[in-house]
Amino acid sequence: MRQIVLDTETTGLDPAQGHRVIEIGALEILNRRITGATYHVYLNPERDIDAGALNVHGLSREFLSDKPRFADVAAEFLDFVRDAELVIHNAPFDIGFLNAELVRLEDGPMKQYCGVLDTLKLAKTLHPGQKNNLDALCRRYFVDNAGRTFHGALLDAQLLAEVYLAMTRGQETLGIDIGQPTLATGAPTQRQQRSGVLKVLRASEAELALHGAYLAGLGKDSGDSPTW
C-alpha cells in the first residue's frame, strides 16, 4: 500500500478569504516503510501573509517572492500523490486549501487523485479527551520533535509519519521491530525455539527448610499463620 504523509503551510486560516498554500511537504510510505522519497516546495502566494500565520511558520512574503506559483508545480505535485492515500493531521484544513488551489486551475478536487486518512480523527478515537495535536502525539509516542522551532511542512510530515506508524502499529509488536515473531502472532518465543520446553528448577530440601523457618518467623511476628 502506498501512502503519502502530507502537510502544508498557508498565508492564513481560510481559503474562502483568498488565503493560499505557501509550502507543501510530503513523504512516501510503502507497505508501512518510509522509503525516503519526498516532495517539498515553497510557493509564491502573490498576497500578504497574516501575522498569526507568520508567527507559526516564519515564512515571509519577501522570502517567497521568487518561488514558483502553485500553477507552476501542480502537475509534478499531483504526479507524486496520484493513486496514494494521503495521511494528513487535520485533513479538512489541508485538503480545503489544496482544493481551492485546484479550483483556480479549473481542476480538482483532490479526491479524484487520491484517498485521505485524517490522523487527528484517528487520534481522537484512540485518545478521547486528550490533547491530540502533533506535539502532544510526539510526546505520547516518543517521537523526537526537539528541532521543531517553527512549523515546517516537510518537518511536520516527517514527524507525522513516525507518529502515524507508531499509532497504528498496535499491540501485536509489544515494542519489537515490525517483522519479528511475537506471542500475538502465535510464533514460538526465543526460549521455546532454543529448547522446545521450559525447564523447571525445584527448591532443594535445605532451601525448603529455610523457607519454612522464614514463614514460621512471620507467623510469630504477626500472631497468625501465613496463607502461602
- In order of start, what are the domains of the chain with their CATH numbers? 2-182 (3.30.420.10)
C-alpha cell at 41: 516546495
Q: Is the pLDDT of residue 190 over 80?
A: no
Q: Is the pLDDT of residue 201 over 80?
A: no
Q: From residue 125, give the alpha-carbon distance in Å to each of 128, 131, 176.
A: 6, 12, 24
Whether the model clears a pTM of 0.85, i.e. scores above it, the answer is no
- Helix ranges (H only) for the chain are 51-57, 61-64, 70-81, 91-104, 119-126, 134-140, 153-167, 190-195, 205-222
Give 111's DSSP letter: G
Q: From residue 54, give the alpha-carbon distance in Å to each of 41, 47, 134, 148.
A: 17, 13, 19, 15
Q: What is the mean pLDDT of residues 19-44?
A: 98
Q: What percent of the chain has pLDDT over 90?
A: 71
Q: Is the pLDDT of residue 67 over 90?
A: yes
Catalytic annotation, pick one of 19, 57, 127, 151: 151
Verify whether residue 151 is a known catalytic residue.
Answer: yes
Q: What is the mean pLDDT of residues 58-65?
A: 97
Q: What is the rounded CA–CA span in Å between residue 193 and residue 213?
A: 39
Residue 151 pLDDT class (50, 70, 90 cuts) = confident
CB atoms within 10 A of CB 200: 5
112 sits in which H/E element: none
